[in-house]
């Protein structure tokens, strides 16, 4: 859970436009895009554009509020677009918890009855 923010992590490179991504939503402070290895159709990620928090333990309250407002917007749009039966909002801290990218992010994963629960 300790460590320095890596300026060259994959989400930092996405924010800089150095790695392409499929944008779902963007505002002044946040960015939402499709996960490259989706757990289900419409699996997306939401990140802060300015916070250098690696995880929930480090994030500024302001950045967290901005990100969560976008999580709600994207979850609402995902429901409208795909009509899932459920939606996971998930966030991992540290490798033993499954974290692989060390720029704080929230997963939004549509779920359908009879499909995998995931995580």
Tell me which residues touch ligand 5GP (CB under 6 A): 10, 19, 21, 33-37, 92, 98-101
The single residue of 43, 88, 103, 105 carrying the catalytic annotation is 105
The two tokens of residue 82 are 């795909």
**Contact residues for 25 (Cβ-Cβ < 8 A; gap 6+):** 31, 32, 70, 73, 74, 77
Q: Which residue has the tokens 């505002």?
A: 27
CB closer to ligand 5GP, 40 vs 99:
99
**Contact residues for 113 (Cβ-Cβ < 8 A; gap 6+):** 85, 86
CB closer to ligand 5GP, 29 vs 99:
99
Residue 37 Cβ vs ligand 5GP, minimum distance, rounded to whole Å: 4
Would you call 105 a catalytic residue per the annotation?
A: yes
Catalytic residue numbers, as ranges: 105
């Amino acid at each position: 859970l300790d460590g320095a923010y890596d300026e060259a992590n994959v989400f930092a490179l996405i924010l800089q436009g150095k790695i392409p991504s499929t944008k779902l939503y963007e505002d002044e402070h946040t960015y939402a895009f499709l996960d490259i290895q989706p757990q289900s159709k419409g699996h997306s990620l939401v990140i802060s554009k300015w916070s250098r928090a690696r995880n929930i333990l480090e994030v500024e309250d302001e950045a967290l509020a901005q990100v969560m407002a976008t999580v709600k917007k994207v979850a609402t749009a995902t429901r409208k677009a795909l009509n899932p039966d459920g939606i996971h909002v998930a966030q991992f801290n540290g490798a033993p918890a499954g974290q692989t990218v060390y720029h704080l992010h929230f997963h939004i994963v549509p779920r359908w009855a009879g499909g995998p629960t995931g995580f």
